Amino acid sequence: MAKARDSGFVVISSPIATLNSKRIVELALKHRLPGIYPTGQFVEEGGLMAYSMSIAALYRRAATYVDKILKGAKPTDLPVERPIKFEFIVNLKAAKQIGLTIPPNVLVRADKVMK
Protein backbone atom coordinates (compact mmCIF):
# COMPACT_ATOMS: atom_id res chain seq x y z
CA MET A 1 0.00 0.00 0.00
CA ALA A 2 2.84 2.37 0.83
CA LYS A 3 4.27 1.94 -2.68
CA ALA A 4 0.95 2.54 -4.44
CA ARG A 5 0.82 6.13 -3.11
CA ASP A 6 -2.62 6.72 -4.59
CA SER A 7 -4.51 4.56 -2.18
CA GLY A 8 -6.09 4.67 1.20
CA PHE A 9 -7.50 1.97 3.39
CA VAL A 10 -10.42 1.00 5.56
CA VAL A 11 -9.96 -0.86 8.84
CA ILE A 12 -12.79 -3.26 9.58
CA SER A 13 -13.88 -3.66 13.17
CA SER A 14 -12.27 -6.68 14.77
CA PRO A 15 -10.63 -7.55 18.08
CA ILE A 16 -7.24 -7.89 16.36
CA ALA A 17 -7.52 -4.44 14.76
CA THR A 18 -8.59 -2.88 18.06
CA LEU A 19 -5.72 -4.52 19.95
CA ASN A 20 -3.27 -3.23 17.35
CA SER A 21 -4.89 0.16 16.79
CA LYS A 22 -1.87 2.18 17.86
CA ARG A 23 0.47 0.25 15.55
CA ILE A 24 -1.94 0.50 12.61
CA VAL A 25 -2.23 4.26 13.07
CA GLU A 26 1.55 4.66 13.43
CA LEU A 27 2.16 2.76 10.19
CA ALA A 28 -0.47 4.78 8.34
CA LEU A 29 1.11 8.05 9.46
CA LYS A 30 4.63 6.82 8.72
CA HIS A 31 3.67 5.91 5.15
CA ARG A 32 1.34 8.92 4.76
CA LEU A 33 -1.68 6.77 4.01
CA PRO A 34 -5.22 8.06 4.57
CA GLY A 35 -7.38 5.61 6.47
CA ILE A 36 -10.87 5.40 7.85
CA TYR A 37 -11.28 3.44 11.06
CA PRO A 38 -14.09 1.56 12.80
CA THR A 39 -14.07 3.53 16.08
CA GLY A 40 -13.06 6.87 17.51
CA GLN A 41 -10.31 5.13 19.48
CA PHE A 42 -8.19 5.03 16.32
CA VAL A 43 -8.70 8.75 15.68
CA GLU A 44 -7.83 9.61 19.27
CA GLU A 45 -4.59 7.68 18.74
CA GLY A 46 -3.77 9.78 15.66
CA GLY A 47 -5.79 8.20 12.84
CA LEU A 48 -7.36 10.31 10.09
CA MET A 49 -11.07 9.61 10.46
CA ALA A 50 -13.67 7.22 11.78
CA TYR A 51 -17.26 6.49 10.93
CA SER A 52 -18.98 4.19 13.35
CA MET A 53 -21.93 3.60 15.57
CA SER A 54 -21.92 5.66 18.74
CA ILE A 55 -20.52 3.45 21.48
CA ALA A 56 -22.03 5.74 24.14
CA ALA A 57 -25.49 5.37 22.57
CA LEU A 58 -25.07 1.58 22.49
CA TYR A 59 -24.20 1.54 26.19
CA ARG A 60 -27.26 3.66 26.99
CA ARG A 61 -29.52 1.26 25.06
CA ALA A 62 -27.91 -1.70 26.81
CA ALA A 63 -28.65 -0.08 30.15
CA THR A 64 -32.35 0.17 29.27
CA TYR A 65 -32.35 -3.55 28.43
CA VAL A 66 -30.69 -4.39 31.75
CA ASP A 67 -33.32 -2.28 33.52
CA LYS A 68 -36.16 -4.11 31.74
CA ILE A 69 -34.67 -7.51 32.57
CA LEU A 70 -34.17 -6.58 36.22
CA LYS A 71 -37.83 -5.54 36.31
CA GLY A 72 -38.89 -8.99 35.10
CA ALA A 73 -38.86 -8.89 31.30
CA LYS A 74 -37.68 -12.04 29.56
CA PRO A 75 -34.57 -11.38 27.47
CA THR A 76 -36.05 -13.52 24.67
CA ASP A 77 -39.06 -11.19 24.50
CA LEU A 78 -36.95 -8.07 23.95
CA PRO A 79 -36.40 -7.00 20.34
CA VAL A 80 -32.99 -6.96 18.71
CA GLU A 81 -32.16 -3.39 17.77
CA ARG A 82 -29.82 -1.94 15.19
CA PRO A 83 -27.66 1.05 16.04
CA ILE A 84 -29.37 4.30 15.13
CA LYS A 85 -26.73 6.87 16.11
CA PHE A 86 -23.50 7.05 14.12
CA GLU A 87 -20.49 9.34 14.52
CA PHE A 88 -18.12 10.78 11.96
CA ILE A 89 -14.83 12.01 13.47
CA VAL A 90 -12.02 13.79 11.60
CA ASN A 91 -8.49 14.43 12.87
CA LEU A 92 -7.04 17.55 11.21
CA LYS A 93 -3.62 17.00 12.78
CA ALA A 94 -3.40 13.59 11.10
CA ALA A 95 -4.53 15.11 7.80
CA LYS A 96 -1.74 17.66 8.01
CA GLN A 97 0.82 14.95 8.86
CA ILE A 98 -0.02 12.99 5.73
CA GLY A 99 -0.35 16.09 3.52
CA LEU A 100 -4.09 15.87 3.00
CA THR A 101 -6.57 18.75 2.94
CA ILE A 102 -10.05 17.88 4.16
CA PRO A 103 -12.68 19.82 2.18
CA PRO A 104 -14.84 22.19 4.25
CA ASN A 105 -18.06 20.40 3.21
CA VAL A 106 -16.68 17.20 4.77
CA LEU A 107 -15.73 18.99 7.99
CA VAL A 108 -19.22 20.47 8.28
CA ARG A 109 -20.69 16.96 8.24
CA ALA A 110 -18.35 15.69 10.97
CA ASP A 111 -19.76 15.16 14.45
CA LYS A 112 -16.34 15.91 15.91
CA VAL A 113 -13.28 17.60 14.43
CA MET A 114 -10.03 17.14 16.31
CA LYS A 115 -7.42 19.84 15.80
Q: Name the residue range of residue 90's domain.
A: 9-53+85-114
- The tens-digit pLDDT sequence of the chain (115 residues) is 777 766 899 999 999 999 999 999 999 999 999 999 999 999 999 999 999 999 889 999 999 999 999 999 999 999 999 999 999 999 999 999 999 999 999 999 999 999 9
| In a domain? residue 42 | yes
Q: Which residues contact 75 (CB under 8 A, 6 or more apart)?
A: 65, 69
| In a domain? residue 69 | no
Closest CA to 113 of 90, 96, 97: 90
| In a domain? residue 78 | no
| In a domain? residue 26 | yes
Whole-structure pTM over 0.85, yes or no?
no
Would you put residue 95 in left (φ > 0), alpha (ψ -120 to 50) or beta? alpha
| In a domain? residue 24 | yes
| In a domain? residue 102 | yes
- Domain at 41, CATH number: 3.40.50.2300
| In a domain? residue 79 | no
| In a domain? residue 45 | yes
The number of domains in the chain is 1
